[in-house]
Amino acid sequence: MGAIRTRVLPRAERRTEPRQRQGIKQWLIIGAFILPGAIIYFLFLILPMIQAVYYSLFKWNGLGPATDFRGLDNYGLVLNHNIFQLALQHSIVIVVLSLVIQLPSALLLAIAVGRKLKGRMLFRTIFFLPYVFSEIITAIIWTYVYHKNGLVNIILGALIPNYQPATLLADTNTVLFAVFAVITWKYFGLQMILYMAGLQQVSEEIEDAARIDGATEWGVLRYITIPMMGPTIRLTVFLSVLGSLNQFAITWVLTNGGPVSASELAATYMYKFGIVRFNLGYGSTVAVILFVISLIFSVGYQRTLLRRDYAGRVS
């Protein structure tokens, strides 16, 4: 009988095979955890975006297949519609008011009640509480607050002699600012909490050293505290701009975009002229335009301002 010959693998190959199997096993485990989330992400985010772009090229009422191809005509109709232009202007106004009024006010209050104030946990709870409410509940509450016999007119009537109750939501000159006040009430607490969290990252030793060197409290605030809170401030600006551009629920419940489109925003315009009127091709066009605006801002802002914050954390 002939001897049975066996091939003996080199030691390096014997070590490589278990490592390769282990690597494949790790990738299979990673894939098993990622796959469900990736499927959900594709079905509920990527696929609707692709469908919105597709339907924006048709005149489609949402019933049956889309067959009336219009190409880019819908985009021309939207961009040339005076109400859409007005809605976009209103959205920009909300963005500017948020950056000029809401965020600075939240920052100053966060600094005022941030570290050493007794009962600061109570202040945090009080200011954060409105954020817990849904946007629908918030809008319903403020519908009664703005009512002719509501809290606003009661307070103004007590402070101003011969005051005549105002209908802030029915006046084209005040409705947009009244809506902004509700948005501020809703999100002010979130911004303040974020700033208070950022304030905890500012070294008190550096601030004390500046005071010892003769810096005033304003100088400490301007040259040390606020610059060191830069990453948090840039993040809140990013969130505020995107949230303002896509604001819908509060405005729709309060005013439906009225009166006379005085509080129409980009998102309420999309809903009114797309879904309510069963013109989903047109509404998809508005959605695509709003997405492109948000995407351009998001990518540009992250690449110019947020990149250094990410780089600092990685390093």
Within-domain flag for 158: yes
**Cβ neighbours for 174, distance < 8 A, ≥ 6 positions apart:** 166, 168
> Residue 109 corresponds to which tokens in the numbers above?
């209050």
Strand partners, 69: 58
CATH code of the domain covering residue 251: 1.10.3720.10
Handedness of CA 122, 123, 128, 130 (dihedral sign): positive
User: Has residue 218 been placed in a domain?
Assistant: yes
Quick one: which of 224, 230, 202, 195 has its CA closest to 211? 224
Report how far apart, in Å, the C-alpha atoms of 104 and of each of 51, 146, 191 are: 39, 25, 10
Establish if 208 belongs to a structural domain. Answer: yes
- Return the DSSP state at 46: I
Contacts of 143 (CB under 8 A, 6+ apart): 169, 253, 254
pLDDT tens track, the chain, 315 positions: 445 555 554 555 555 556 777 778 888 888 889 999 999 999 998 999 999 999 999 999 888 888 899 989 999 999 999 999 999 999 999 999 999 999 999 998 888 877 666 767 777 788 888 999 999 999 999 999 998 888 888 888 888 888 888 888 988 999 999 999 999 999 998 999 899 888 888 888 888 888 888 888 888 888 888 888 888 999 999 999 999 999 999 999 999 998 989 999 999 999 999 999 999 999 999 999 999 999 999 999 988 877 766 555 544
DSSP state of 105: H
**Within a domain: residue 290?**
yes
Task: Residue 264: give the domain boundaries.
Answer: 82-314
Count how many domains the chain has.
1
Q: Is residue 4 part of a domain?
A: no
